[in-house]
Chains A and B, each alone.
Chain A
């Protein structure tokens, strides 16, 4: 009887240990998975290299007297849904001082039906936004490489900002890009009004979270399993 009781106690202990180990494993797996997912979300895409000024070869003419924003979008990039959302917030905040162009990069061989996705529709709903379908030339002129990459130019065509306006991949909410653009506009507006401001010589840079606008090539590094960088 005693041995039986001890046997039963041993089995219970063994079971408890196994259970604890199992749960620990489970927690580890889940936490690791959540961490990896988080890491993915926070891994930026390829930072484009736009020129200091509005490209003269561009077919897009910035409206005079406005700060001009240009955002390059891959029509099917799910991460860019947050970028469009943040653009909407930004345009509302600019109170008419900002003109925006959203360039939808359409790879050769794809028609407009492929391009006009829900992102196209969402962009069309934002006041002050002009949508442009581009076959890649304009994006390349502006040095855009990742969907959601945003450039802001001042009234004289000088590049003020280059980067993404989301905090993470496809993540809505406060982010440094939007904060920077708001601040830049406010500074330049104040400067135009003769108020003393501190000018930055370099354009502000932030990370861009989105899919690569162009198919990977030898000179581009691609990480499989994520939005292409």
Chain B
């Protein structure tokens, strides 16, 4: 019998398992072969009967016949031979005795079939076939049993009925041995094959046992790991709960902090603004300026921290609304253009022609990113220019995937600091903070906003040569709306020869593109003398320029000098527009003196440019017709200073606030406007006053004792609904800047929300908007209003 040997790498347990598997395999083979033989027995029995019926169905005596004895033998003797092994197979499958009985029966069957066939030599092959079939058991003992039966049969027949098997009455004594020898010959090969097969089975059993051992180890390992993972999962869930709880606490803290800081900041900045309007000596003005700028810086920091907290806690979601990219860019550069000009910088913006303009996205957040990047560029650039470029993202085929670039000629960033600039509270150099201010939060916020927009941000910079901040963002292009640029006034420059005079290549490029798209034939000159040469040459050629865009500040001959020469030489047919980044008051005077048709402050938007060109060319044409030459006194100016508000009619305003300081501040803001301001110390009083008197607008603080602003607003709205009264505009004044708080106020029924600290201009603008009052008022936001 085969044994499973234990090897070095084969544990006793595995050996036992291999041995068991080997036994199982053998048992399965025994049972399977038993079944096969049971079927074969039935088949052979039936085949014997059929053979008897075909070969010797009847015995005859003259004309008389009766069934042949072979038929009875096939039925009864064949049945006797077959039934016992069949019963054994059914009752004792897989047993050793069963297969030996099968072997004996199979040999008897061979003898019977040989007899029934009349001793045909062909039927003798049944013996050999049976031996081969018995080898299916893979138990060589069975072959021995079968061979013994066959040998005994031959021996007995040879002894007692030799003619039945050898055909002769007297045979040699060992004739039976010759026959058995052939059986043994067959057995020899069959036994070899059985031994080989058992070896292979043994190998398979060992491999299987090994595999089971390995699998068991793996399963155990997996089980252990799963348990560990479950434990880790539980810990993670607990940690997540803790984190969520901490996040909620943080949000509540932020909300509270926002409120607690903004409330006094509101008072400080508001009072400073009011103080600024009173007569002050220079020192006082200086101190007040420092106080205001410090307050603004602190406010920026708070806003930055809140933004960052909201982004990191996943509470910031981007709005998806239609907006006009070109308008956004224009407004943004306009906003920051003032700061740039104050530093004497060129502020340029260039939206590539193939960029879709009508987009869907979060307008405010993209503006926040641009304000931050451009604001930084202005901050860190002493001379030169800041250029904003918008183009299609070349790495994407989606039209709404855009690539923004903000390039400056500033101090630049050291190579080893580049990767840190987008981290929170990090600036390229700690000395930077001291020199330029800022919390270092801006770029961290920008990076997260860009991430939210599906884009990425990176920077290229060289110390002392400037920086280029790139970012990509994904927008949807508005469906249905034609992607057309805003109409550039009604100016048609078709065929008009224009000359752009500017030492800045980018500026020339932008202006050339703007003019060309309106049909103008554009030439460029990078300095005054070259420009004058161009103009002279064109005039001599009979194709004089009709329009000149002239940069103010150029090396060598500046814009005014060029304009002076043009006044003297070019004549009336030439419309000259000056573009400047410099101090308006001084230059505007000179521009008027020189008779320039328009004076534009950079950055010049498309709309401003073509409106100015249209107006200037029309004036020029009118003056030419009238034969009058006079300076363009009404030269177009892009920016005018804010003036004090003048209300057109008195309004009744109710202010609900428990803070005496805030009430005092708002009183100060509205002083001189002609408004009548009533006060309510809490929401309950406010509701009562609304019910008692008629007001044009309510300024509602949210956090108040007795009845808060939200409850008071709901009460007012309910009362209005019940009485069928028109809605009184309610403006919420909160110290919270969180989106959730704003949403809650709007849901309560307020019309708009102003976050403290409240700027005077914004308050008045809001009042105007909701009361439809007409103001002879122009509000210009300063950079401090919007920069992050």
Contact = CB atoms under 8 A, between A and B. Distances in A.
Contact of A78 (B56, B62, B77): B56
Given A171-B164, A174-B166, 12 more contacts: A34-B115, A41-B164, A76-B58, A76-B65, A78-B56, A167-B163, A173-B119, A214-B61, A227-B59, A227-B60, A227-B61, A227-B68
B36 interface: no
Q: Which 7 A-B pairs have the closest CB atoms?
A: A174-B167, A228-B61, A78-B56, A215-B62, A173-B167, A107-B63, A167-B163
Interface in A66-111: 74, 76-79, 81-82, 105, 107-110
Contact of B119 (A33, A168, A225, A226): A168
B59 A228 contact: yes
5 contacts: A30-B80, A78-B56, A78-B68, A172-B120, A175-B163
Interface in B638-687: none
B140 to A, nearest CB: 22
A211 interface: yes
A216 interface: yes
B328 interface: no
B118 A171 contact: yes
Given A30-B81, A41-B115, A79-B56, A222 B164 contact: no
Contact of B121 (A170, A172, A228): A172
B64 A228 contact: yes
A211 B112 contact: no
B391 to A, nearest CB: 95
Interface in B103-121: 104-105, 108, 111-112, 115, 118-121
A50 interface: no
Contacts of B120: 172
Contacts of B61: 211-212, 214-216, 222, 227-228
Given A33-B76, A228-B59, A174 B65 contact: no
Contacts of A179: 168
Contacts of A74: 60, 62
B399 interface: no
Contacts of A215: 61-64
Interface string B178-195: 000000000000000000
A76 B56 CA distance: 9
B618 to A, nearest CB: 125
Nearest to A19: B97
A224 B60 CA distance: 10
B59 A78 contact: yes
B355 interface: no
B169 interface: yes
A110 B84 contact: no
Contacts of B68: 78, 227
Contacts of B105: 30
B interface, size bucket: 35 or more
A109 B164 contact: no
A69 B167 CA distance: 22
Nearest to B76: A33
A216 B64 contact: yes
Interface of B: 55-66, 68-70, 72-73, 76-77, 80-81, 84, 97, 101, 104-105, 108, 111-112, 115, 118-121, 157, 161, 163-164, 166-169
A42 B161 contact: yes
A151 interface: no
A79 B118 CA distance: 8
Contacts of B59: 77-78, 211, 225-228
Given A76-B60, A78-B68, A33 B77 contact: yes
A26 B118 contact: no
Interface in A1-41: 19, 22-23, 26-27, 29-30, 33-34, 37-38, 40-41
A131 B81 CA distance: 42
B164 A77 contact: no
B164 A38 contact: yes
B163 A172 contact: no
A78 B73 CA distance: 15
A215 to B, nearest CB: 3
Contact of B111 (A29, A34, A171, A227): A34
A19 to B, nearest CB: 7
Nearest to B64: A215
Contacts of B118: 81-82, 170-172
Nearest to A77: B60
Contacts of A147: 60
A19 B101 CA distance: 11
B80 A42 contact: no
A216 B65 CA distance: 11
Given A79-B56, A172-B119, A29 B63 contact: no
A152 interface: no
A30 B83 CA distance: 11
B568 to A, nearest CB: 136
B89 to A, nearest CB: 14
Contacts of B81: 30
Nearest to A39: B161
Interface string A183-201: 0000000000000000000
A104 to B, nearest CB: 12
Nearest to A227: B59
Contacts of A225: 59, 66, 69, 72
Interface in A95-151: 105, 107-110, 147
Contact of B168 (A76, A81, A167): A167
A213 interface: yes
A55 interface: no
A171 B65 CA distance: 20
Residue from the set B57, B60, B76 with the largest chain A CB neighbour count within 10 Å:
B60
Contacts of B119: 82, 168, 170-173
Nearest to B72: A225
Contacts of A176: 163, 168-169
